[in-house]
Amino acid sequence: MSPPGLDIRRASLTFGARPLFHDLAVEFDAGSWTCLLGRSGCGKSSLLRMIAGLTLPDRHHIECTTSDGQPLRGRLAWMSQQDLLVPWLRVIGNVMLHPVARPAGGTDSPGGA
């Protein structure tokens, strides 16, 4: 299966009273590499969290569609910026930790929701 392209529209994010971005639109071509550059706190990681469907503490909105029309759920991996790796495992062991730790058919969110 080839990776889908992503089309992001009307993305907005506000932390407290501080708007980080509003009405952002960007396309990520299928199979391409993309680098997000910006100063600390401008919303790079938050945008990626929004695309991944992860929880954010403040107001946000995003419209994300794929080039193949299929949902992203189950086809997206997330590795946090923090050093949360299992130190005695190699890189592949850390990457494969989720499928090993969570049985088939399990949920992706804490608490089973």
Give the chain's domains with CATH numbers.
Answer: 6-106 (3.40.50.300)
Model pLDDT for residues 6-35, shown as the tens digit of each residue: 999 999 999 888 999 999 999 999 988 888
DSSP code of residue 15 = E
Give the least confident one: 20-29, 47-56, 73-82.
73-82
Dist. CA 4–CA 68, nearest whole Å: 6
DSSP structure string for 22-61: EEEEEEE-TT--------TTSSHHHHHHHHHT---SSEEE
CB atoms within 10 A of CB 66: 16
pLDDT in the model for residue 77: 77
In the predicted model, is pLDDT for residue 57 greater than 70? yes
